[in-house]
Structure 1
């Protein structure tokens, strides 16, 4: 495949990434234009030894990092609320967060784009969660029947700067806790201690108010619904803390809400 074909295939996503990095459509497009001009002048600048998408994002990121002023974004010039929040995040942390949460890169590929190792990337993603929480801290309800997992999640949520409104082991406990203190986010297992369903509990909780919901289950392949989850925030057990941190930040940053859905499986 020619260089022009490779770029054309990924161009919309490169523009999305550049816009989020710079905070504006015009500035983002300017960097993508610089990328195209660089490749036209010297196609060898694209590393052919790595996956093309990784190579393109790596080159674009290097171009962005080459301009010192990019460390600062003027929040007043940003129209999209999510991007305004992102403007407060440290530049390298911003890049790590966007590569994982917006562009969907796996840890190894995101680390390759930034020319760092995976442990460093994980630390940056966790930093993103903490920095975002300073802007959008919320109350988190945990629905989980396994005590050690619940404690791990509680520590992770609080470590990101959010507050745990309660931990429920059953459907009825979840509903009771949520009525006493409405959460801004829900982390939910699906199969609960008394045989009840975390999915049913979530559906009941979000009938009147839409909040981001992240399902955490040992059997993600059983999470089948007749309606496409909006969004499908699903994490498999056992989980990496960095994965949970990234998804929590993603759900709050992009302000994606959950809607009631049909239950067709348990996990």
Structure 2
């Protein structure tokens, strides 16, 4: 297989990533073109990583990080509002967040792309979560019956700049709290101690108003069946704080983006 054939399936995704980094498609495509030119000159870079996709993004990142002005790149008039917020995060954390949350790379592959170790990658993702949260801070409802996990989540949410409306331990408490205070984000365990279901509580709430939801469970395989409906955002216990931070940022990022598109369409 030729180099062009190996990377062709990943070019549309690299253009998306580049747009999110630069703030507009024209600038993003210029960096993609530079990466492709470098690849043409030396196709051996495809052998330097675990897959052609990782190698392509790694090459792009080296070019991007070699230009000092990237720390100051700003969006133009064609940029979507949500992407404008992403562009305000400082460069390395922004890359880490987008690689994990938008492009779906594993921590190991994202670390390879950025030439850092996994602990550093996690620190960068956490930093991006704090910076993005400052732009899209919201009120959060936590549905969790285990006190220590609830405390950990509460501390993490507040460290990201959000406000915790309350912690619910049962289906009934969750519905009561949410209807009274209308959270902007819900973090929900699926199986609660009294036998009730956080999933059922959320589904009941979603009939009244729309809100992004992140489910946290010790049994993710029970809910990732490939059939609908299934949780859009799902975190396995025990969780890494960096993972929760990235997924919170991702959920709010795309929720704001969707609302903006709906307003423009109406």
Alignment of 1:99-178 (within 5 A): 99-178=99-178
Per-residue CA deviation, residues 157-207 of structure 1 (Å, 9 max, x unaligned), is 111111111100001101111122110000001111221111111011121
- Deviation for aligned residue 1:44: 3.0
1:227 is the counterpart of 2:221: no
In structure 2, the CA distance between the partners of 1:226 and 1:119, relative to structure 1 (3 Å rule), is closer
Q: Write the distance in 2 (CA, Å) between the matches of 1:49 and 1:60.
A: 13
- Deviation for aligned residue 1:43: 2.1
Range with greater deviation from structure 2 (45-54 or 246-255):
45-54
Partner of 1:5 in structure 2? 5
Q: Write the distance in 2 (CA, Å) between the matches of 1:44 and 1:236.
A: 37
SS in structure 2 of the partner of residue 164 of structure 1: strand
Per-residue CA deviation, residues 122-142 of structure 1 (Å, 9 max, x unaligned), is 111111110011100000100
Partner of 1:253 in structure 2? 253
8 A Cα contact 1:110 1:121, kept in partner: yes
- Deviation for aligned residue 1:36: 1.4
TM-score by length of 1: 0.91
TM-score by length of 2: 0.91
SS in structure 2 of the partner of residue 140 of structure 1: strand
Structure 2's unaligned 5+ residue stretches are 259-266
8 A Cα contact 1:144 1:188, kept in partner: yes
Measured on the aligned residues, the alpha-carbon RMSD in Å equals: 1.9
1:183 is the counterpart of 2:206: no
- Deviation for aligned residue 1:225: 8.2
Q: Write the distance in 2 (CA, Å) between the matches of 1:133 and 1:123.
A: 15
SS in structure 2 of the partner of residue 254 of structure 1: helix
8 A Cα contact 1:140 1:164, kept in partner: yes
Q: Write the distance in 2 (CA, Å) between the matches of 1:225 and 1:103.
A: 19
8 A Cα contact 1:185 1:212, kept in partner: yes
Partner of 1:29 in structure 2? 29
In structure 2, the CA distance between the partners of 1:257 and 1:205, relative to structure 1 (3 Å rule), is farther
Q: Write the distance in 1 (CA, Å) between the matches of 2:173 and 2:256.
A: 25
In structure 2, the CA distance between the partners of 1:207 and 1:49, relative to structure 1 (3 Å rule), is closer
In structure 2, the CA distance between the partners of 1:47 and 1:144, relative to structure 1 (3 Å rule), is same
Q: Which has the higher helix share?
A: 2
Alignment of 1:41-56 (within 5 A): 41-56=41-56
Range with greater deviation from structure 2 (116-125 or 74-83):
74-83
How many correspondences in the alignment? 257
- Deviation for aligned residue 1:77: 3.4
Structure 1's unaligned 5+ residue stretches are 259-267
- Deviation for aligned residue 1:46: 3.8
Q: Deviating runs (4+, > 4 A) in structure 1?
A: none
8 A Cα contact 1:142 1:150, kept in partner: yes
